[in-house]
Amino acid sequence: MDFQGNMDRILDSIQQAKAAGAMYRSGPEMEIPGYSCADHFYESDTMLHSWEVVAELLQHPLCVDIMIDVGLPVMHKNVTYNCRLVFLNRKILLIRPKLILCDDGNYRETRWFTAWRKIRQVEDHYIPRIISRITGQITVPFGDAVIATRDTCIGYEICEELWNPESSHIPMSLDGVEIIVNGSGSYTEIRKGYVCRDLVMSATARSGGCYLFANQRGCDGDRVYFSGNSMIGLNGSIVARTLPYSLQEVEIVTATIDLESVRNYRSLVRSRCLHAAQSQAYPRIQVNFALSNDEDIFLPLSQPIEYTIPTPEEEILYGPACWLWDYLRRSGQGGFLLPLSGGVDSSSTATIVYSMCHLVVQAVANGEEKVLEDVRRIVSQSDYVPRDRRELCGRLFHTVYMATENSSIETKNRAKLLSQQIGRLNLPVLGDILGAPPTAELEPLDEGTLVQTDEADMGMTYAELATYGKLRKVECCGPYSMFGKLIHMWSDRCSPAEVAEKVKLFFRYYSVNRHKMTILTPAYHAETYSPDDHRFDHRQFLYNYRWLWQFRAIDKAVEKLETRSRDEQVERSSSNRSTKDSQSSHKRPSSRSCSNSFSGSTGNESQRRGVEVPPGPLIQTGLMESHKPECVLQDHPSGTHTTAEPIDCGPGSETDRKRWGCLSSPLHTLGHSTQKSCRAVKITLVHLQHHTTSVQM
């Protein structure tokens, strides 16, 4: 909702782009009002002020001889769309509405916008009079069109359109669109950093072309942190990118690309050419303007760069720190007060505030005027220059130790040490804090010694809690499905009856405590299994904590598993006896070839427990994989069908890719059978090196 600030930043970016010699400028999704305006998108003021900013931009002397697209909501025939507006030299060329909206995770786009589904169609849009007076236009094209300049063709994809299996860049690139521009609002989650890079690389590797991915960076008023990582892709490589985790308000990234390289790349992919020749044409908005000029042979071309992904530790240290900085400077507060207990939660918070101070000092040292201006305002000192992060931390950050008679001397010491150590980049006390048993310190000490620990209180470990959390939220498990997964995951340590007890305990506690999440203070969204009730985890907060139906289903499954296991044991021992008796060397027919012992990889342990999982219907599918043996799904040594987990496919790959549909987790994808009776699908990838030509990757 910071229209003034947003317009200033857009103009700043245009100025920087022109200074870098760019002929085209794009920016993030909804950059005029901001992406996270939420129900403000219902307000006509939001639409009016957005158009007012467009009016300013159209008339601004900076906005000449450069093609620009900006993001804003536009109401067309009483329906609001999430749009890019493209303009050049005081004329609007096209308003391109988003075709595919996003409602995953924290996104709720369909609450405010409607997707434009008139594919390859444009209509007349009647622009407001304040705009007509500037451009002289009464109507402008609105819809799914592309822009044909004298030298190339430019098309638009808005954020989610890149993620969707029916991505717009595919038909556009087949129709000769060479530059695809994507204004995005993509937020960060730990270990998600590779996703945008892989999508841009894969889009341009398969379709050829140049891809401009302009993403928002920072907190724009909500719990999420937009990751930045704007980048330019070309024919399967990344040629330019911005850096993640910076306090810089406007950062541009430019690249010089050779359009001939797009044409060469595409014409060499023969199968693509056949499809391109049959592709349906997009409406083209003809513009007498060129992005290139006759002298461009002298320009050095951008080369592929290495795109590194931050480690999860860096993501934790810098993402929330940048978000806190935005929180602090926007909220008009003077700093932070933290009750520091010496436990993991408050100590991590303290470390993140310190990380924020470190980033501020660094940004000021790098000449970031805006950061200096903000920090001066926050500390109320117009000539202040933060040179030392410890000193800055002393001004912005205050901790208090709120002891009771149940507080132990150990935690107090750890809190004290941390408050003293905050200030070098060397916080050895963090090791002690992490190593200490988590405790609420609510129960009396026993002669000064702690007797209470969280894990004992909860009856479960934090590691177990994390597993439950991921299964509950990410994998959408109710009690019964969670039990079904855990009997395999924990086959080396628990019998099904024990797993059943653990799952029931978790769900009982979950349901009696769930209502407490409704009063959580706003926090940084970091993880896919976040329990935040306000924006992310939309489940009811009051339950029948006895879960009668669900727990009965678990009990029945345990009973079945135990009966089957006993039967199989009896069968085994009688078959052993008869084998001995007849002294036959024949093996028993493999009646269990499709079955699955509960043992997992720890056969001995499971034999000790003597429990096996019923076979369940399996479909065997044989696929031949002629190369990349490291991607072959390993068959379980014991022949079980425990659900496949993503595996690492070697250098440059990440194990956390299952959501993005890469090779590493085909079972997950296929496991969602619509046939209720079929829960597990077995897939075999065969590596037949002798019969195939090897392919170098």
Ligand X SMILES: NC(=O)CC[C@H](N)C(=O)O
Catalytic residues: 29, 98, 159, 341
| Closer residue to ligand X (CB): 102 or 317 | 102
The residue with tokens 């007498």 is 288
Q: Do the Cβ atoms of 500 and 558 come closer than 8 Å?
A: yes
| Closer residue to ligand X (CB): 115 or 269 | 115
| Closer residue to ligand X (CB): 147 or 162 | 162
- Binding segment for ligand X (CB under 6 A), chosen from 88-96, 155-163, 296-304, 610-618, is 155-163
In the complex, least distance from residue 163 CB atom to ligand X, rounded to whole angstroms: 4
Q: Is there binding between residue 186 and ligand X (CB under 6 A)?
A: yes
Binder among 102, 231, 357, 611 for ligand X (CB under 6 A): 102
- Binding segment for ligand X (CB under 6 A), chosen from 64-72, 101-109, 113-121, 241-249, is 101-109
Binder among 104, 123, 251, 648 for ligand X (CB under 6 A): 104
- Non-local CB neighbours of 517 within 8 Å, separated by 6+ positions: 531, 532, 533, 537, 541
| Closer residue to ligand X (CB): 189 or 249 | 189
In the complex, least distance from residue 161 CB atom to ligand X, rounded to whole angstroms: 8
Interaction pattern, residues 535-564, with ligand X; x per rule: CB under 6 A: ------------------------------
In the complex, least distance from residue 433 CB atom to ligand X, rounded to whole angstroms: 33
In the complex, least distance from residue 220 CB atom to ligand X, rounded to whole angstroms: 12
First to last CA, the chain: 48
- Non-local CB neighbours of 581 within 8 Å, separated by 6+ positions: none
Sign of CA dihedral 603, 468, 525, 196: positive
Q: Helix, strand, or coil here: 1?
A: coil
Q: Helix, strand, or coil here: 90?
A: coil
In the complex, least distance from residue 398 CB atom to ligand X, rounded to whole angstroms: 36
- Non-local CB neighbours of 622 within 8 Å, separated by 6+ positions: 684, 686
In the complex, least distance from residue 662 CB atom to ligand X, rounded to whole angstroms: 16
| Closer residue to ligand X (CB): 171 or 183 | 183
Q: Is there binding between residue 159 and ligand X (CB under 6 A)?
A: yes
β pairing state of 91-97 and 231-234? unpaired
In the complex, least distance from residue 672 CB atom to ligand X, rounded to whole angstroms: 19
- Binding segment for ligand X (CB under 6 A), chosen from 156-164, 205-213, 314-322, 647-655, is 156-164
Q: Is there binding between residue 656 and ligand X (CB under 6 A)?
A: no
Binder among 160, 315, 326, 441 for ligand X (CB under 6 A): 160
- Binding segment for ligand X (CB under 6 A), chosen from 148-156, 157-165, 421-429, 613-621, is 157-165
- Rounded CA-CA distance 271/370 in Å is 51
| Closer residue to ligand X (CB): 157 or 368 | 157
Per-residue DSSP letter, 125: E
- Binding segment for ligand X (CB under 6 A), chosen from 3-11, 99-107, 385-393, 421-429, is 99-107
State which amino acid sits at residue 392: L
- Binding segment for ligand X (CB under 6 A), chosen from 61-69, 102-110, 252-260, 370-378, is 102-110
Partners of 11 in the β-ladder: none
Spatial CA neighbour of 46 closest among 10, 73, 70, 80: 73
| Closer residue to ligand X (CB): 220 or 612 | 220
* Interaction residues for ligand X, span 106-125 (CB under 6 A): 107
- Non-local CB neighbours of 172 within 8 Å, separated by 6+ positions: 146, 155, 157, 180, 282
| Closer residue to ligand X (CB): 163 or 490 | 163
- The two structure tokens encoding residue 547: 């879960």
- Rounded CA-CA distance 273/165 in Å is 21
Q: Is there binding between residue 506 and ligand X (CB under 6 A)?
A: no
Q: Distance from CA of residue 347 to its chain's centroid?
A: 26
Read off φ and ψ for residue 200, nearest 5 degrees: -70, -40
The helix (H) or strand (E) run that includes residue 102 is none
Number of residues that bind ligand X (CB under 6 A): 9
Binder among 33, 97, 155, 185 for ligand X (CB under 6 A): 185
Torsion of Cα atoms, 261 then 264 then 265 then 267, to 10°: 150
CA-based diameter of the chain, in Å? 102
Category of 423 on φ-ψ map: left (φ > 0), alpha (ψ -120 to 50) or beta: left
Between the CA of residue 57 and those of 11, 31, 141, 232, what are the distances in Å? 8, 13, 19, 24
| Closer residue to ligand X (CB): 15 or 242 | 242
Q: Do the Cβ atoms of 169 and 144 come closer than 8 Å?
A: no
Q: Do the Cβ atoms of 636 and 595 come closer than 8 Å?
A: no
Per-residue DSSP letter, 283: P
Name the CA radius of gyration of the chain, rounded. 30
Q: Is there binding between residue 73 and ligand X (CB under 6 A)?
A: no
- Rounded CA-CA distance 632/684 in Å is 8
- Non-local CB neighbours of 645 within 8 Å, separated by 6+ positions: 665
* Interaction residues for ligand X, span 23-62 (CB under 6 A): 29
| Closer residue to ligand X (CB): 215 or 302 | 215
- Binding segment for ligand X (CB under 6 A), chosen from 55-63, 66-74, 100-108, 487-495, is 100-108
In the complex, least distance from residue 217 CB atom to ligand X, rounded to whole angstroms: 13
In the complex, least distance from residue 250 CB atom to ligand X, rounded to whole angstroms: 20
In the complex, least distance from residue 107 CB atom to ligand X, rounded to whole angstroms: 6
Contacts with ligand X, residue ranges (CB under 6 A): 29, 102, 104, 107, 159-160, 163, 185-186
